[in-house]
Amino acid sequence: MDTLPLAVSGDDAAPLTPDQLRELYTLMASVRHLDTSAIAWQRQGIIPGYAPELGQEAAQVGSAYAVDTSRDFVFPTYREMGVARTMGVDMVGYMSTHKATWHGGLYNPLESRLAPIQAVVAGSVLHAVGWAHGQTLENTGGGTTGVAMTYFGDGASSQGDVHEALNFAAVMKAPVVFFVQNNGWAISVPTERQVAGGSVAARAAGYGMPALQVDGNDVVAVVEATRRAFAHARAGHGPVLIEAMTYRRGPHSTSDDPGRYRSLDEERDGAGADPLERLKQRLLAEGIADEAFFAEALAAAKAEEEAIRTGIQALGSRPGAEMFDLVFQEPTPALQAQAANWREESEHV
C-alpha cells in the first residue's frame, strides 16, 4: 500500500550510495550482535531483563537512518535498541535502562533526540504528537520543521491512545511519522487476533492520512519509505503512517517462552528471510562488499559489545531518593508523603 502523494527531491530522492549501503550493514551487524549478547547478559545476571529485536534490524536501522538529529525527535517503545544505536545514542547509557540503574536510562534525551524508553504500550505515540504540534506553533513563519517519529507495535495499534494520536495529528497537521513495526505478535497474541482488518496502514485512510506499507525486512525499502514520510511531514503536509511488515524472531522479552504459543515450524514460516543475510547477499551480488568487509563488521560489532558490557558492569547504583526528584517540577503532597515513607523505611534497612 502506498497512498503518499508527494514525490521527494534532492538528497531524499537520491539512491543510497555504496558507502551508505555498507554503513547500513555495519549498523545492522552491530545491532544484531549487541541484541543477541544482551540476552546472554541477562542469563549471566548482568542485566535483569531485556526485550530483544531479533529480525527487526532492517525496520529499526532503516527508519532511524532517515532521522536528522539536529532537529527531529524520536519516541521509542521498549524494543528500539537498533534505533538508539543508529541515532548515535551513548549505548552504555541506553542499555543501563535494562540494568534498571535509573528510570529511563542514563543517556540524555535532549542531546540525543531520543525520548526515554517507554514501557507503557502506545504511551510514546501521544507524546510525539504533542512535541510535533509544538514544532508547528514555533514555526508560524514557515521555515524548517523538526519531525517527530514515534514507534509502536501491531498490538499497540488497538489501544485508544493510538486513535487519539492519529486523529489529533491529522486534524492539526502535526509533523509526525507514525512508524508501526508489525512483527506479527503482541506477546503471545498473533496479529490476526489483535488487528481487525489485518492492516494498520489501511486505517490511516480513515484519518485522511497517507500511509505506506513496506517490507520491513528490506532495509533499503525502509530507508526510502521513511525519507519520503519525513519530507512530507517536514514540508507541512501533516503526518504519515508507515507499517513495516516484519517478524519478531525471538521471545517477547527474556522472561517469555514462545514455545508455549507457537511452534518452531510456525516461526520458520512466519520469519521469512533474515534481514541481515538479505542485505549481505545484495551487497555481494552488486559487488559492493566482500567477505573481508563482513568479517570486519563482525569484529567491530564484537569489540563494541565488549566495551558496552564493560561499561554496564562498571555502573554503580544510583541514590534511591532520586526516584522522587524528577517526577514533577514541584513535588505534590502525595509524592512528598511517599518520599517521607520511603526514607523512613529505608533508614531501617
Catalytic residues: 248, 252, 261
Q: Which residue is nearest to Mg ion (CB)?
A: 153
CA-closest candidate to residue 112, choices 90, 135, 133, 128: 90
Question: Minimal distance in Å, beta carbon 172 to ligand TPP?
Answer: 24
- The C-alpha atoms of residue 91 and residue 84 are separated, in whole angstroms, by 8
Report residue 71: phi and psi, to 5°: -145, -15
Interface pick for ligand TPP out of 52, 153, 258, 275 (rule CB under 6 A): 153
Question: Minimal distance in Å, beta carbon 100 to ligand TPP?
Answer: 16
Nearest CB to Mg ion, comparing residues 154 and 274:
154
183 in contact with ligand TPP (CB under 6 A) = yes
254 in contact with ligand TPP (CB under 6 A) = no
Burial class of 272 by CB neighbour count within 10 A (0 to 12, 13 to 18, 19+): middle
Nearest CB to ligand TPP, comparing residues 72 and 154:
154
Q: Which residue is nearest to ligand TPP (CB)?
A: 153
CA-closest candidate to residue 70, choices 242, 212, 234, 232: 234
CB-CB contact of 251 with 48 (8 Å): no
186 in contact with ligand TPP (CB under 6 A) = yes
154 in contact with ligand TPP (CB under 6 A) = yes
77 in contact with Mg ion (CB under 5 A) = no
Question: Minimal distance in Å, beta carbon 194 to Mg ion?
Answer: 8
Nearest CB to Mg ion, comparing residues 35 and 305:
35
Question: Minimal distance in Å, beta carbon 55 to Mg ion?
Answer: 11
Question: Minimal distance in Å, beta carbon 347 to ligand TPP?
Answer: 33
For residues 94 to 133, the per-residue mask of contacts with ligand TPP, x marking binding by CB under 6 A and - elsewhere, is -------------------------xxx------------
194 in contact with Mg ion (CB under 5 A) = no
Stretch that binds ligand TPP, among 87-95, 184-192, 212-220, 311-319 (CB under 6 A): 184-192
Nearest CB to ligand TPP, comparing residues 194 and 226:
194
38 in contact with ligand TPP (CB under 6 A) = no
- The C-alpha atoms of residue 187 and residue 2 are separated, in whole angstroms, by 28
Cell 525502509, located at residue: 222
216 in contact with ligand TPP (CB under 6 A) = no
154 in contact with Mg ion (CB under 5 A) = yes
CB-CB contact of 211 with 205 (8 Å): yes
Kindly tell me the number of DSSP H helices and DSSP E strands found in the chain.
13, 7
CB neighbour burial string for 155-186, b if at least 16 within 10 angstroms, e if fewer: bbbbbebbbebbebbbebbbbbbbbbbbbbbb
In angstroms, the Cα distances linking 113 to 64, 76, 185, 222 are 11, 11, 28, 20
Interface pick for Mg ion out of 56, 145, 183, 254 (rule CB under 5 A): 183
Nearest CB to ligand TPP, comparing residues 33 and 79:
79
Amino acid at 154: D
- The C-alpha atoms of residue 30 and residue 82 are separated, in whole angstroms, by 9
* 69-88 positions binding ligand TPP, by CB under 6 A: 79
CB-CB contact of 232 with 3 (8 Å): no
**Where on the chain is the footprint of ligand TPP (CB under 6 A)?**
79, 119-121, 152-156, 183, 185-187, 248, 252
